[in-house]
Amino acid sequence: MEQPVREIPDSAAPDVAPGVTYDFMVVSNRLPVDRCVPGVDGNDDSGWRRSPGGLVTALAPMMTKTDGAWVGWHGAPDETVEPFSHGGMDLVPVQLSTDDVELYYEGFSNATLWPLYHDVIAPPEFHRTWWDSYRRVNARFAEAVIACAADGATVWVQDYQLQLVPRMLRKARPDLKIGFFNHIPFPPPEIFAQLPWRRAIIDGLLGADLVGFQRPSDAANFMRSARRFLGASVKRQQVHVKDKDGAVTHLARAQAFPISIDVEQISELAKRPDVIERAQQIRRDMGNPTTILLGVDRLDYTKGIRHRLKAFEELLADGTLDVGDATLIQVASPSRERVEQYRLLREEIEGTVGHINGTYDTLLNTAVRYLHHSYPVEEMVALYLASDVMLVTALRDGMNLVAKEYVTARTGEDGALVLSEFAGAADQLKQALLINPHDIDGLKAAIMTAVNLPKKEATRRMRSMRKQVLDHDVDQWSASFLAALKETVIRDDS
């Protein structure tokens, strides 16, 4: 039997300055800042620096203009941090214990929900202790919002770690305008059905006025699950949410809002002389091969890195590619290294790279340059400029912003993008060479098409993709979501 979601006690309140309230609040698992050493590498003296990423870039300016605050974990367990301001934003830390990180984050969020929502590429684990922690931590995030939100405030909850928060907020503060955005895929009901707490998750999300997804298929999956597991009435993308007596309390709209990137930042970096020189240096350091192929991913089993390596190895084995002419750079940034499946994946990937290089390397050339690091955005743009072919072979991906960054960086309208049809970006970047990463022969053929793509054809494809991304940047994404949220609330009140 599914357990009820924890209620918010009336007395609950985080340690915040009394009387401080906000008209706009963003809620995410992490705050938009990272710890830093003051005075090192240009960091200020606050001990914090703004986190990279499109979400922070999109929402930070808005928060400074709308009396906003950001609620999230500050990144260190078992540490109390008082609310503070940074870069014009008020930040409200939520405290997590070591057990919370293990059970709520590493456990339920990333070993239950993440694999389940990514089509069970890896088997999800279902543990009641993880679920209990997930409910408790979601309640803690909701409590922080409740204590700080002004009357009628807009609250935008982010991602799969906090799916119970919308319902908790609506029950305690029905005056709030509540939006939720899911950054990862939402599975079809046939897969979602495996989750023992499926009703509670759907009910949690239906606390929002607007539930946003990356793709229309994700929104459709959510509405099908609401109908199947809660018996909800769904009409025109709207779920009619009812109370225990059957009366409609509000309409929860489900809609796709494909997220994008900071186009201006990537474009400016791609034109900077030092970044262009760095790209040329990368090619020189690689021995000036005819073709550089590039993969950039978190080290995650959903990214299809193994499929990419297998296809590249077979192209070398059958002589279609030669290590003197083609090199693959694979950036695999560290990810969830305390989770066993991720440790095993790292060992497998590094073993595969070692086997390929041991077989095909020469004294002058390396087949695969494997980089298990995270890099600043300047270095990433240099890599985009240095490479001829971008390989995005995700087995399942909510969007994949790397594909959009690569396209934006190609200001000369050259290069080629090989893109998995299972990445959300495939809905927008239709002029990419779309592939099914499970089809190794098809992937190999697409790679060779990209390698040999005529200049005129490459320009036509890249120009089309660049126009799409430049016209739909991350600012447009956030503005369209919040405009739809406002319209939804007005319509529901009428």
176-213 in b/e form (b: 16+ CB < 10 A) is bbbbbbbbbbbbbbebbeebebbbbbbbbbbbbbbbbb
Q: Could you give the residue numbers annotated as active site?
A: 183, 397
Q: Are 299 and 332 in contact (CB under 8 A)?
A: yes
Assess contact for 101 and 137: CB atoms under 8 A. no
What phi and psi, each to the nearest 5 degrees, are found at residue 402?
-60, -40
C-alpha 8/C-alpha 128 separation (Å) is 20
Check whether residue 292 and residue 412 sit in a common domain. Answer: yes
At 39 the pLDDT is 57
> Is 11 contained in some domain?
no
- Identify whether 76 is part of a domain: yes
Is 83 part of any domain?
Answer: yes
The pLDDT value given to residue 245: 81
> Within this chain, do residues 357 and 381 fall inside the same structural domain, yes or no?
yes
User: How many CB atoms lie under 10 A from the CB of residue 317?
Assistant: 12
Identify which of 214, 134, 157 has the alpha carbon closest to the alpha carbon of residue 26: 157
Angle ∠(399,162,300) on CA atoms, nearest 5: 40
Query: Do residue 191 and residue 92 come from a single domain?
Result: yes
Round to whole Å and give the CA distance between 127 and 424. 30
CA distances for 17 relative to 21, 138, 146, 275, angstroms? 9, 22, 14, 44
73: CATH: 3.40.50.2000
Co-location of 190 and 244 in the same domain: yes
Q: Report whether 419 contacts 425 (CB < 8 A).
A: yes
Within 8 A by CB and 6+ apart from 493, the residues are none
The interaxial angle of helices 377-386 and 401-409, nearest 10 deg, is 70
| 312 shares a domain with 409 | yes
Residues 47, 170: one domain?
yes
Place of tokens 């390397």: 361
What 8-state DSSP symbol labels residue 96? -
Count Cβ atoms within 10 A of the Cβ of residue 100 and give its class: 0-12 exposed, 13-18 middle, 19 or more buried: buried
Indicate whether 149 and 30 sit together in one domain. Answer: yes
Same domain, 296 and 344: yes
Closest to 331 in 3D by CA, of 281, 286, 297, 280:
297
pLDDT of residue 16: 43
Q: Residue 15: inside a domain, yes or no?
A: no
Residues facing 69 on adjacent strands: 25, 90
Indicate whether 343 and 202 sit together in one domain: no
Tokens of residue 159, six digits:
């991602």
Are 290 and 157 in a shared domain?
no
What is the pLDDT, as a whole number, of residue 12?
A: 37
In a domain, 1, yes or no: no
Q: How many domains does the chain have?
A: 2
**Is residue 61 included in any domain, yes or no?**
yes
Indicate whether 248 and 291 sit together in one domain.
no
Looking at residue 18, its pLDDT comes to: 54
Whether residues 218 and 339 share a domain: the answer is no
Examine residue 428 and state whether it is found in any structural domain, yes or no.
yes
Helices 128-148 and 165-172: crossing angle in degrees, nearest 10, is: 40
Give the structural domain span for 239.
22-259+476-493
pLDDT at 57: 73
pLDDT tens, residue order, the chain (494 aa): 444 444 444 333 343 455 689 999 999 999 999 888 665 555 555 688 888 766 787 787 777 777 789 999 999 999 999 999 988 889 999 999 999 999 999 999 999 999 999 999 999 999 999 999 999 999 999 999 999 999 999 999 999 999 999 999 999 999 999 999 999 999 999 999 999 999 999 999 999 999 999 999 999 999 999 999 999 999 989 999 888 888 888 899 999 999 999 999 999 999 999 999 999 999 999 999 999 999 999 999 999 999 999 999 999 999 999 998 999 999 999 988 777 888 899 999 999 999 999 999 999 999 999 999 989 999 999 999 999 999 999 999 999 999 999 999 999 999 999 999 999 999 999 999 999 999 999 999 999 999 999 999 999 999 999 999 999 999 999 999 999 999 986 555 44
Q: Is 14 a domain residue? A: no
Residue 43 has a pLDDT of: 56
